[in-house]
Structure 1
Amino acid sequence: MLNALFVTFIIVSFAAYFYYKTKQFRTSLPIQKKWYKAKAGVALGLFVIFFGLNTFIIQDTLLGNIVGVVFVVVGLMESYHSYKRAKHEGKFVQQEYELNKQ
């Protein structure tokens, strides 16, 4: 049951990553590109976290636990860093849009 939940979260976070990466490539405004890149980074970090947590469930060995811990730590670092970037750059997205509106 828990495995199915983590697989669902893995799929949703990967879909969010793909969505924000597509939005990043389709926009032409520089700050908005950085904002979408940071949001994609948060989704990627969540993907890695859920993948690491799923590794704990699937492989109950010492090596599986080590790999799971590494994935969770790397995912937490990526999500935290990207969240801070998205929060900072999100303040300027509307302002940039208003300046470039024609």
Structure 2
Amino acid sequence: MVIFPIIIVLSIALYVYYKVAILKSNEELTQLYFNARSRICLGSFILFFGINQYVFYQTTISLFIGIVFVILGGLQLNRGFKEVKHYRSEWKRLNES
């Protein structure tokens, strides 16, 4: 499966991009929004890394480790989506034109 390594590399690259964007921004709301976006990228990295480990090795230990990674990645994704939704609505509320 070549799709999982592509998603893993893309998500880690976007994670680094958003973390660097946090350093460039001076506004706290923008920093919180970018941090939430980076949490989504980190969650997708962990989730797909866990799936890839099981698909690649297919052993019992990789299954257990993959399940832990999928759970942790799913939790990160869920929290990231909630934070992005919250901060996006806050930004729109504060910047009404």
TM over 0.5, yes or no?
yes
Counterpart residue number, 1:87: 85
Report Cα offsets for 1:17-67 as digits up to 9, x if no partner.
011111111100011100000000000000000100101111111100000
Is 1:50 the counterpart of 2:72 in the alignment?
Answer: no
Helix, strand or coil for the counterpart of 1:64?
helix
Q: Which runs of 5+ in 2 are unaligned?
A: none
Q: Using the aligned pairs only, state the percent identity.
A: 26
Corresponding residue for 1:14? Answer: 12
Structure 1: which 5+ residue stretches go unaligned?
none
Indicate the RMSD between aligned Cα atoms, in angstroms. Answer: 1.4
After TM superposition, which residue ranges in structure 1, 4 or more long, deviate above 3 angstroms? none
Q: Which amino acid in structure 1 is aligned with residue 16 of structure 2?
A: F
Residue equivalent to 1:23? 21
Q: TM-score, normalised by structure 1?
A: 0.88
